Amino acid sequence: MTATSAGSGPGAIARPSSAARTRARSRRKATPSWVKSVLMWTSIAAIVLFCLFPIYWIVNTSLKAGADLSRGALWPDNPTLRNYRSVLNDGDFLLALRNSAIVATTTTVLSLFVGSFAAYALARLRFPRKALLLGIVLSISTFPVIAIAAPLFKLWTDIGLYDAEYGLGLIIPNLVFTLPLTIFILTSFFREIPRELEEAALVDGATRVQSFTKVVLPLAAPGLVTAALLVFFAAWNEFLFAITLTSTPEARTVPAAIAFFTGSVKFEAPLGTISAASVIVMVPLVVLVLVFQKRIVAGLTAGAVKG
Amino acid sequence: MAQIVLDGVTKRYPDGTEGVRNMSLTIEDGEFMILVGPSGCGKSTALRMIAGLEEITDGELVIGDRIVNDLDPGERDIAMVFQSYALYPHMTVRDNMGFSLKLAKVPKEEIAQRVEEAARILGLEDHLERKPANLSGGQRQRVAMGRAIVRKPAAFLMDEPLSNLDAKLRVQTRAELSRLQARLGTTTVYVTHDQTEAMTLGDRVAVMRAGELQQVGTPMELYNEPTNLFVAGFIGSPSMNFLPAKVEGDHVHLPMLDMTPTPELLEELRRIDRVIVGVRPEQIEEAGAPGTKGWPTFDVEIDLVEPMGAETVAYFTVAGEEVHAGQLAEISRDRGGDNRISAGENQVVARLESDSTVQRRSVAKLALDPDKLLWFDADTGARVGIGAALAASV
Amino acid sequence: MTSITPTQATVPPRPKRSGGGSFGRSDRRLAGILLSPALALIALVAAYPIFYAIWLSLNEYSVRVPGLQRFAGADNYREAIGPSFWDAFGNTMLFTGVSVALELVIGLAMAVAMHSAFKGRGLLRATVLVPWATITAVTAITWRSIFEPGLGFAPQVLEKIGIAEDVIWLGENGYAMAVLILADVWKTAPFMALLLLAGLQVIPEDVYEAAKVDGATTWQRFLRITIPLLIPAILVALIFRTLDALRIFDLPKVLTDGSNGTNVLSLLAYQELTDNRLIGLGAALSVLTFVIVMVVSFLYIRFVGGNIKTLAED
């Protein structure tokens, strides 16, 4: 099952005698290597198909129009960008993209700014009831958002943040779950930085602020990138606040807009356009995933394997 | 350049335990002072208090002519070399060394000049633009040194700076460090648990145990005139041999022979419940070897012989109750277990002349230098009869 | 979704050497300054609303006249715990149980496959991240289009094989839940796989070699070595996923809007709050959801927390 147990590695081809010996020795129990190879490639293919077929399907649908759309074939006979054109001419959808960009970016910046201070305190400083505090922060992230949404709806209505333009009313609620995420990731990254480095900076004449900005932050940069990506994804994805705290296109973000999508062309099934809209909002995230996959995986798995 | 004075300095933790207790020590201007002791003895805590990385609970710390208790580390005009070197991984060697000067807003040209000068002294000129990750262990160590010397501080503080080097490089770097300190003449406080480093580097050595200063003195003072069992056992390699001794009438019974002490010493030994005698390995010679004239002799079977070239180390066992003393137990715990053999026997190490003919598993006649024996109270650890001469006879 | 593991809830003890801590006095003050913005925000948008929600749930509000309310005590709760609550509760539990179990099995299979794939591991990792990165609303749209009657890929294929002919997938009880679970498994099994893969990667190779020398077959090595050593990672992943599944909202909201046996607790509370504008009742339902999630978290931490804690202590 493991890489080294695969019987004969690539080197075995160059040295037939050793490959032969390996085969002879392992005949009794071990599965022949070609079977393993086939198994491996089959499972890889299955995973890729499982993960990517739905994406293919939505792209396929988004390229269909008219008769194609009502046939449901595995590929479009007459691929067209009509759906994309009509989505990009849809003012409401563009507003949603704008709002999402603003909300997700601002949430990320605020979350990192506020979260890095808190994470530093939790990772480094000594104060009473630290474990309790960390526990509370983390337990916030298990709250069902619905339990917060109704009171926030009332509160936001009272103070005028309900349905605020650019989706500004969504930023602070988003912080409820992005802050614990940020604090969690950054705390584990800050802990990795040797305390002695900061002490060296202090002896070198740095203030605590300088030792944070000139030593800790640059070294935690990978952690900051990871946290930023995960927070951005979470904010871009956020749905419940988006539909409870906004009601007009001027305030709505992408997930809400997609949920309420009706298509710009009346009397036409919106399947094509909604697929095109879905593809458009997916593209930036998929690009981010491909570029930063290592950082994202590091962030997702932080704490899952090491304490 | 400055004198460092610790006056009754104490570190007390919130739970009441004391890391360093009432430590008073004056480190002269330009002196190379070693703080040595087993792990957990408070030597690092003491150094960190001097650096300002640990708060001083009680007492006063003076560097130069300032009381620095409440000053931040950066304001104390000191430089520190950490055990892990604590090089900034994201900065080049040049930036690592120049970081403190940059923070102090020293002009750029001066920083460059001082960094290059330090790099020349340490042989790092070719590595200035590299990152620490691309340096060898020895180079990293030198960058850490360089970071300290570019500042021209009043004092260097070093926390086991050689412990991450391999044995050969450690010896070499030790010599370089000694030369460098002599050349710069900067007051240096150096923490180590390695007694060899302590003996070879320091102008003076301060031995610490369980948060308390035991003895301060030159290496030879500590070696020849230790104040207690702990210092006697900690300093010296191979360690001093400790054997039980019993006063019987007007003589003292040692496991291998009896001796007659001077009346003054006898008087003092009589007041002690349990006496331990300390014998340095080089105080035992083969009978008849040069300089052993008049020494009492004894016959013993040799367990093991290690010919070292310059000398021959012989091990033998003598009967008698095993010595028990808290201070000795602390040392052997720190060195990873009790190397003394089973109850009822005591192992003795002797450093004989290289031309010695002693053989493993054969009986040899050895002689003991009676004038340099050290006497201790097993219960308090204190050395007794300091200054008293001992005339011995078989 | 990414949520937080309670792994770090216990702070590992600091090494004794610096035990007294540098800067003892200033630490507390600095910690206070650094933590207060985060804590203030959390108090504003999490703690305060929770208490407010409890207050709302104890009152009755007029639908007609805004601002008209009276204290109702437990009335809302009595009304909330009715057939639709039990229905949503059952659906939530069914959804959570089945989807988390499937995700664990599929995620584990994916992780093992990814771990043994010495070629194309990077490609696989990127591939697997795509469903995770797809926003939930889009996931719902995608699976809706895959199961679109007559047009979707799934009904066409199934019809050809002769399974589930003439089923309106999202329009029938049971079938709709199946699509909901499938969509959730698609989106989160890869996430599970990544967590478990990270766990697999820290199992040292020589343990397997030792087992091989001892004569263990591939399957025995998997059962006796991989699984036991993976248990901590599995537990963390299970906690992650269970707490997320219990709170699920966006996927059923967009996919079915809770119709045809897919109504879950969060969605029910939402409907009462917004569609029916029954603030008191909706608040009571959200408080109930909150309590259920908290009870499950508590049980988890109670029963598997010990394992996690030892894990956290390196």
Check if A202 contacts B (Cβ < 8 Å): yes
Q: How many CB pairs under 8 A join A and C?
A: 350
The CA distances from residue B59 to B37, B119, C20, C306, in Å, are: 22, 38, 17, 44
Closest alpha carbon within chain C to B18: C20
Is C97 a residue whose pLDDT tops 70?
Answer: yes
Is C109 a residue whose pLDDT tops 50?
Answer: yes
The CA distances from residue C38 to A144, A180, A181, B47, B176, in Å, are: 19, 9, 12, 36, 51
Each residue's pLDDT tens digit, C153-188: 888 888 888 777 777 888 888 889 999 999 999 999
DSSP letters for B367-385: EE-GGG-EEEETTT-BEES
Sequence length of chain A is 307
Cβ distance of C233 and A72 shorter than 8 Å: no
CA distance A17 to chain C (A): 23
Check if A204 contacts B (Cβ < 8 Å): yes
Is B258 a residue whose pLDDT tops 50?
Answer: yes
Cβ distance of B73 and A194 shorter than 8 Å: no
Domain count, chain C: 1
Each residue's pLDDT tens digit, B337-352: 555 444 457 889 999 9
**Phi/psi zone of residue C59: left (φ > 0), alpha (ψ -120 to 50 degrees), beta?**
beta
Question: Which of B216, A258, B358 lies closest to C141 in space, CA to CA?
Answer: A258
pLDDT of residue B89: 92
Beta bridge partners of B27: B4
d(CA B97, CA A183): 33
d(CA B19, CA B33): 20
Please tell me which of the candidates A194, A207, A218 has its beta carbon nearest to residue B86: A194
Question: Which chains sit next to A, with 3 or more Cβ pairs under 8 A?
Answer: B, C
Mean pLDDT over the full length of chain A: 82
Is C6 a residue whose pLDDT tops 70?
Answer: no
d(CA A258, CA A261): 5
Is B161 a residue whose pLDDT tops 50?
Answer: yes
Is C20 a residue whose pLDDT tops 50?
Answer: no
CA distance C13 to chain A (A): 10
Check if C66 contacts B (Cβ < 8 Å): no
Torsion of CA A181, A187, A190, A196, to 10 degrees: 180
**Phi/psi zone of residue C258: left (φ > 0), alpha (ψ -120 to 50 degrees), beta?**
left
Cβ distance of A51 and C233 shorter than 8 Å: no
Cβ distance of B84 and A196 shorter than 8 Å: yes
Are the beta carbons of A275 and A62 closer than 8 angstroms? yes
Is C66 a residue whose pLDDT tops 90?
Answer: no
> ipTM, 2 decimals?
0.82
Find chain C residues with C-beta within 8 A of A135's C-beta: 6, 9
Find chain C residues with C-beta within 8 A of B11's C-beta: 20
pLDDT of residue A65: 83
Are the beta carbons of C49 and A148 closer than 8 angstroms? yes
Each residue's pLDDT tens digit, B266-307: 888 888 888 999 999 999 999 988 888 889 999 999 999 999
List B residues 84-143 in contact with A (Cβ-Cβ < 8 A).
Answer: 84, 86-90, 99-100, 103-104
d(CA B148, CA B80): 6
A6 or C259, greater pLDDT: C259
Is A211 a residue whose pLDDT tops 80?
Answer: yes
Cβ distance of C37 and A118 shorter than 8 Å: yes
Is A201 a residue whose pLDDT tops 60?
Answer: yes
List B residues 38-67 in contact with C (Cβ-Cβ < 8 A).
Answer: 40, 44-45, 48, 53-55
Cβ distance of A184 and C141 shorter than 8 Å: no
d(CA B116, CA B102): 15
Cβ distance of A199 and B80 shorter than 8 Å: yes
Return the minimum-mean-pLDDT range out of A68-72, B266-270, B307-311, C143-147. A68-72
Cβ distance of C17 and B13 shorter than 8 Å: no
Cβ distance of C141 and A130 shorter than 8 Å: no
Return the minimum-mean-pLDDT range out of A127-131, C28-32, C241-245. A127-131
How does residue C68 score in pLDDT terms, banded at 50, 70 and 90?
A: confident
Cα four-point dihedral sign A249, A251, A253, A255:
negative
B178 or C67, greater pLDDT: B178
CA distance C287 to chain A (A): 6
Cβ distance of C31 and A125 shorter than 8 Å: yes
pLDDT of residue B3: 94
DSSP letters for C264-298: -HHHHHHIIIIIS--HHHHHHHHHHHHHHHHHHHH
Cβ distance of B14 and C22 shorter than 8 Å: no
Can you point out the beta strands (E) in chain C?
59-61, 69-71
pLDDT of residue A124: 87
Average pLDDT over every residue of B59-67: 93
CA distance B205 to chain A (A): 24
Average pLDDT over every residue of C40-66: 84
**Full residue range of the structural domain in which residue C234 is found:** 83-277+285-313
Is B389 a residue whose pLDDT tops 60?
Answer: no
Best probe of the C interface among A8, A146, A178, A282, by most C CBs < 10 A, is A146
pLDDT of residue B316: 93
Closest alpha carbon within chain A to C18: A195
Each residue's pLDDT tens digit, B82-139: 999 999 999 999 999 999 999 999 999 999 999 999 999 999 999 999 999 999 999 9
Cβ distance of A176 and C294 shorter than 8 Å: no
Find chain C residues with C-beta within 8 A of B48's C-beta: 18, 22
Best probe of the C interface among B44, B50, B55, by most C CBs < 10 A, is B55
B186 or B1, greater pLDDT: B186
Average pLDDT over every residue of C21-42: 78
CATH code of the region A89-300:
1.10.3720.10
Is B27 a residue whose pLDDT tops 50?
Answer: yes
Is C306 inside any structural domain? yes
Closest alpha carbon within chain B to A216: B88
d(CA C238, CA C5): 10
Residue C193 φ/ψ, nearest 5 degrees: -60, -40
Check if C116 contacts B (Cβ < 8 Å): no
pLDDT of residue C304: 64
Quick one: tokens of A14?
A: 């160059």
Sequence length of chain B is 394
pLDDT of residue A23: 46
Average pLDDT over every residue of C23-37: 79
DSSP C169: G
Query: What pTM does this model have?
Result: 0.81
Beta bridge partners of B188: B32, B156
How does residue B178 score in pLDDT terms, banded at 50, 70 and 90?
A: very high
Cβ distance of C20 and B48 shorter than 8 Å: no
B392 or B182, greater pLDDT: B182
Mean pLDDT over the full length of chain B: 90
d(CA A138, CA A146): 18
Is A231 a residue whose pLDDT tops 60?
Answer: yes
Is C46 a residue whose pLDDT tops 50?
Answer: yes
- One-letter amino acid at A194 equals P
Is A130 a residue whose pLDDT tops 90?
Answer: no
pLDDT of residue C237: 83
Closest alpha carbon within chain B to C17: B40
Check if A258 contacts C (Cβ < 8 Å): yes
Is C129 a residue whose pLDDT tops 60?
Answer: yes
Assign A277 to helix, strand or coil. helix
pLDDT of residue B386: 65
Average pLDDT over every residue of A121-136: 84
Is C244 inside any structural domain? yes
pLDDT of residue B132: 93
Check if C25 contacts B (Cβ < 8 Å): yes
Alpha helices by DSSP H, C202-278: 205-213, 218-221, 227-246, 250-255, 265-270
List A residues 132-151 in contact with C (Cβ-Cβ < 8 A).
Answer: 133-135, 137-151
d(CA C152, CA C258): 21
Find chain A residues with C-beta within 8 A of C4's C-beta: 138, 141-142, 180-181, 184
Please tell me which of the candidates B19, B45, B55 has its beta carbon nearest to residue C25: B55
Is C259 inside any structural domain? yes
Q: CA B61, B66, B69: angle at the middle one, nearest 5?
A: 40
Check if B370 contacts C (Cβ < 8 Å): no
pLDDT of residue C5: 38
Quick one: tokens of A31?
A: 């599965």
Q: How far apart are the first and last CA of chain A?
A: 27
Please tell me which of the candidates B86, B99, B100 has its beta carbon nearest to residue A196: B86
Residue B375 φ/ψ, nearest 5 degrees: -115, 135
Helices C121-133, C175-201: inter-axial angle, 10-degree rounding: 140
Is C246 a residue whose pLDDT tops 90?
Answer: yes
C270 or C277, greater pLDDT: C270
C152 or B48, greater pLDDT: B48
How does residue C25 score in pLDDT terms, banded at 50, 70 and 90?
A: low
Find chain A residues with C-beta within 8 A of B157's C-beta: 203
Are the beta carbons of B83 and B198 closer than 8 angstroms? no
Each residue's pLDDT tens digit, B344-382: 578 899 999 988 888 999 999 999 998 888 999 988 999
Beta bridge partners of B349: B315
Specify the CATH number for the domain of residue C174.
Answer: 1.10.3720.10
d(CA A242, CA C289): 20
Buried b (16+ CB within 10 A) or exposed e, C123-152: ebbbbbbbbbbbbbbbbbbbbbbbbbeebb
Q: What percent of chain C has pLDDT over 70?
A: 88
d(CA C211, CA C214): 5
How does residue C122 score in pLDDT terms, banded at 50, 70 and 90?
A: confident
Cβ distance of C20 and B55 shorter than 8 Å: yes
